[in-house]
Amino acid sequence: MDAISVIASARKNGNCKQIVDKITEGIIENGGKNTIYFIEDLNIKGCQGCRRCKDLSNPTKCVINDDFLMIMDKVEKSDAFIFAAPNYFGEINAQGHLFMDRFYSMTKTTPNQLNGKIKAVIIHTYGAKNGFYDDYINKRARLFNSIGLDVVEVLSVGNNEPSKSGDNKILKKAKETGLNL
Ligand SMILES: Cc1cc2nc3c(=O)[nH]c(=O)nc-3n(C[C@H](O)[C@H](O)[C@H](O)COP(=O)(O)O)c2cc1C
């Protein structure tokens, strides 16, 4: 099991990272590995809306050759993709949106859609009560399916956990998620 993780929070030991770390524990216990990237540390430009990726008579990956392509090339060769983003003002934060907008170059109307065999785990953390953003994040998770990932788990984690109290239920669920990948 080879996994690639992308964290949209800039906080190096924030809620997203702690949950990803627990998933990693599960992956390692099963003999796999997980490589973690923070969007904040990468060189990624916003989608230019040029629609070059939609020109099927002249197929290409996204023409912006930056770390988005580097990551998605690694994802294509992996077994699982883990994406963790915090909620800022009701939505996935800006770094998360920057990354996800580039999925435009990988939908079914491009030559770049993934083959449906790579599992995806989506994590969304927030301060509101647990469950508050379930509908929102489940809708956003569909975008991951649209680029040919197989979303197997959506973890919607409120109350500023696990930092606030180190909630064991959440961490246990995260570890199980890693073990089941
Ligand atoms: C700029 C900013 C805006 C936020 N807006 C919201 C919000 O609208 N709703 C909410 O429930 N939590 C909000 N939060 C709280 C974060 O979503 C929450 O603490 C999250 O778990 C942080 O994840 P991290 O520790 O991985 O960065 C906000 C935090 C920041 C810094």
Give distance in angstroms: CA of 167 to centre of ligand 1: 17
* Mean pLDDT, rounded, for 83-92: 98
Strands (E), the chain: 2-7, 33-38, 80-88, 91-92, 118-125, 149-157
Please tell me the distance from the alpha carbon of residue 68 to that of residue 10, in angstroms, as a whole number: 17
pLDDT by residue (tens digit) across 120-150? 999 999 999 999 999 999 999 999 999 999 9
CA 22-118-51 angle, 5° bins? 115
CB 162 within 8 A of CB 19: yes
DSSP letter string, 40-80: GGS--PPP----GGG-TTS--S-S--SHHHHHHHHHHTSSE
Test site for ligand 1: of 87, 92, 159, 170, most ligand atoms within 8 A of the Cβ? 87
Question: Whose CA is closest to 171, among 179, 180, 162?
Answer: 162
| Burial state string for 48-64 with b = 16 or more CB within 10 A and e = fewer than 16 | eeeebbeeeeeeebbeb
Q: Atom of ligand 1 at shortest distance to CA of 157?
A: 21
Distance 98 CA to ligand 1 centre (A): 17
> What is the predicted pLDDT for the residue at 123?
99
pLDDT in tens, 36-77: 999 999 999 999 999 999 999 999 999 999 999 999 999 999
d(CA 53, CA 110): 6
b/e 68-78 (16+ beta carbons within 10 angstroms → b): bbebbeebeeb
The whole domain housing 123 covers 2-180
Give, using CA atoms, the residue closest to atom 30 of ligand 1: 88
pTM above 0.75, yes or no: yes
Contact 2, 33 (CB under 8 A): yes
Domain count, the chain: 1
The residue whose C-alpha atom lies closest to atom 4 belonging to ligand 1 is 88
pLDDT value at residue 36: 98
Give the 3-state secondary structure of residue 1.
coil
Report angle CA 4, 114, 35 to the nearest 5 degrees: 5
Name all residues whose Cβ lies below 6 A of ligand 1.
Answer: 9, 11, 14-16, 86-90, 125-128, 160
CATH code (residue 165): 3.40.50.360
Residues 6+ apart with CB under 8 A from 11: 17, 86
Each residue of 89-126: pLDDT tens digit? 999 999 999 999 999 999 999 999 999 999 999 999 99
Q: Which atom of ligand 1 is nearest to the CA of 87?
A: 17
